[in-house]
């Protein structure tokens, strides 16, 4: 291509053409040279950007968005250079666009913030599709969608919570699916100080065994454990039955089953639970 342009320049120089026509043809060749140069720069830059984003998992997740932004930037900048080379003066247009862009940026400040926060969420991945998360604001649910502006959570009540990405990126997030979805469930009971502690422990473990037969989400390993924690309370001995469940969504049903079996076994063995 460069050789062809050089040959055309040489040919034009050897021809006796009208001066105006030579000027037009020279301008066309200059624009063609500039177009070729800008195209090569863009292709090399995009290839380099593609290699850089492919080096890490985070880069691969946002590679498509970064390539799109780069292409748009190249198109705008190179288009302005070509128009300027064609004699189209862009000073007034750039000034007008600058003022207009500032107004648009101010108007879309939240939207742009959510967009870049969405890029951060996809690159850093503090949350993933299918994760169960809880925010410090109290919002919680399963991550169903991470978009360029917002993230949607599905609650246990089957409602949808729409969170702006900027808000999510700034929140303190508890991800119950990382590093693995298994979570601990603690059920606390209080018995009188004169209760037989070993018998109470056996009954609590039996309640866990019975609940396991009903709830697939209650895991056998690690096995249920009973601990004298918090310990000495104002109304009696406070014990904690600890079990593991498959995922956070199993917790409500498992807690319900444990409490029902504990209540039934305590009533059968005449173990009183202090009340206020």
Taken in order of first residue, the domains within the chain and their CATH numbers are: 2-107 (no CATH), 125-175 (2.30.30.60), 183-268 (3.30.70.100)
Q: How confident is the model at residue 185 (pLDDT cuts 50, 70, 90)?
A: very high
DSSP string, 13-52: HHS---HHHHHHHHHHHHHHHHHHHHHHHHHHHHHHHHHH
The yes-or-no verdict on residue 10 having pLDDT over 60 is no
3-state DSSP call for residue 103? helix
Task: Please give the average per-residue pLDDT across 94-110, as a whole number.
Answer: 59
The CA-based diameter of the chain, rounded to the nearest angstrom, is 118
The yes-or-no verdict on residue 105 having pLDDT over 60 is no
Among 92-101, 123-132, 206-215, name the most confident range.
Answer: 206-215
What percentage of the chain exceeds 70 in pLDDT?
A: 74
Q: What is the pLDDT of residue 133?
A: 93
If you average pLDDT over every residue of the chain, what do you get? 81
Pairing of strands 160-164, 150-154: antiparallel
- pLDDT per position as a tens digit, 155-179: 988 999 998 888 888 889 899 988 8
Tokens 């001066």, residue located: 19
Q: What is the pLDDT of residue 215?
A: 94
Q: What is the pLDDT of residue 61?
A: 61
The yes-or-no verdict on residue 218 having pLDDT over 90 is yes
Tokens matching residue 260 = 């029902």
Higher pLDDT, 197 or 73: 197
Angle between helices 109-124 and 57-85 (to 10 degrees): 140
Query: What are phi and psi for residue 223, nearest 5 degrees?
Result: -70, 155
**Residue 161: strand pairing partners:** 153
Q: Is the peptide bond before 47 cis (omega within 30 degrees of 0)?
A: no
CA distance 227 to 239: 6
- pLDDT per position as a tens digit, 76-91: 777 777 776 666 666 6
Quote the radius of gyration of the chain (alpha carbons, Å): 34
- pLDDT per position as a tens digit, 230-246: 999 889 999 999 999 99
Task: Please give the average per-residue pLDDT across 268-274, as a whole number.
Answer: 88
Q: How confident is the model at residue 3 (pLDDT cuts 50, 70, 90)?
A: low
The yes-or-no verdict on residue 125 having pLDDT over 90 is no
The yes-or-no verdict on residue 1 having pLDDT over 60 is no
The yes-or-no verdict on residue 75 having pLDDT over 60 is yes
The yes-or-no verdict on residue 191 having pLDDT over 60 is yes
What percentage of the chain exceeds 90 in pLDDT?
A: 37
Q: How far is CA 242 from CA 183, 188, 199, in A?
A: 10, 9, 17
CA distance 103 to 58: 33
Instruction: Tell whether pTM > 0.85.
Output: no
Q: What is the pLDDT of residue 15?
A: 53
**Residue 186: strand pairing partners:** 242
Tokens matching residue 247 = 């995922």
């Amino acid at each position: 291509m460069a050789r062809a342009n050089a040959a055309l320049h040489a040919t034009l120089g050897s021809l006796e053409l009208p001066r105006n026509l030579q000027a037009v043809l020279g301008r066309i060749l200059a624009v063609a040279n500039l177009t070729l140069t800008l195209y090569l720069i863009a292709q090399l830059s995009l290839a380099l950007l593609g290699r850089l984003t492919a080096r890490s998992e985070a880069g691969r997740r946002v590679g498509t968005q970064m390539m799109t932004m780069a292409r748009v930037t190249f198109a705008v900048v190179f288009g302005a250079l070509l128009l300027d080379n064609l004699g189209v003066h862009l000073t007034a247009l750039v000034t007008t666009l600058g003022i207009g862009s500032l107004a648009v940026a101010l108007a879309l400040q939240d939207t742009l913030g959510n967009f870049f926060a969405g890029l951060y969420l996809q690159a850093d991945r503090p949350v993933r599709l299918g994760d169960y998360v809880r925010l410090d604001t109290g919002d919680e649910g399963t991550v169903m969608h991470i978009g360029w502006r917002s993230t949607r959570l599905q609650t246990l009540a089957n409602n949808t919570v729409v969170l702006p990405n900027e808000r999510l990126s700034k929140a303190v997030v508890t991800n119950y699916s990382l590093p693995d979805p298994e979570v601990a469930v603690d059920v606390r009971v209080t018995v009188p100080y004169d209760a037989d502690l070993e018998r109470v422990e056996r009954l609590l473990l039996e309640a866990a065994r019975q609940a396991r037969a009903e709830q697939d989400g209650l895991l056998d390993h690690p096995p249920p454990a009973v601990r004298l924690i918090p310990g000495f309370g104002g109304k009696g001995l406070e014990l904690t039955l600890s079990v593991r469940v498959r995922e956070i969504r199993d917790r409500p049903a498992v807690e319900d089953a444990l409490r029902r079996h504990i209540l039934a076994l305590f009533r059968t063995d005449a173990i009183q639970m202090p009340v206020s």
